[in-house]
Amino acid sequence: MSRCIPFQKMIAGGHPEKAVVELLREFARDPEYLGAVYNLGLAFDAMGREELARETYRLYLELAPDGYWASQARAKLVESGGVSREEE
């Protein structure tokens, strides 16, 4: 989780595009770092790229259905209309 903090600060600080670039680099270096996938979803949300964010949250859940960020990814999908509460 602490690995995600710098990226989340970039996003919260109004630099989601920079976060996307850095998260992709981090994920390329370490494909096991699935927190990068969830945080990409956050960055896409911040950029107003809702469909891309939903697809990214779905990808995270596919790769890590019980992962650290799984409940947050599901909640983001529900709040965005990307999944119904019944599917959750």
- For the cut 70, the answer to whether the pLDDT of residue 85 exceeds it is no
Task: Tell which phi-psi region holds residue 64, choosing left (phi > 0), alpha (psi between -120 and 50) or beta.
Answer: beta
> Which pLDDT tens digit goes with each residue over 9-49?
999 999 999 999 999 999 999 999 999 999 999 999 999 99
d(CA 37, CA 57): 7
Q: Which domains does the chain have, with CATH numbers?
A: 2-80 (1.25.40)
State the pLDDT confidence band at 88, using cuts at 50, 70 and 90: very low
pTM (2 decimals)?
Answer: 0.89
pLDDT at 17: 98
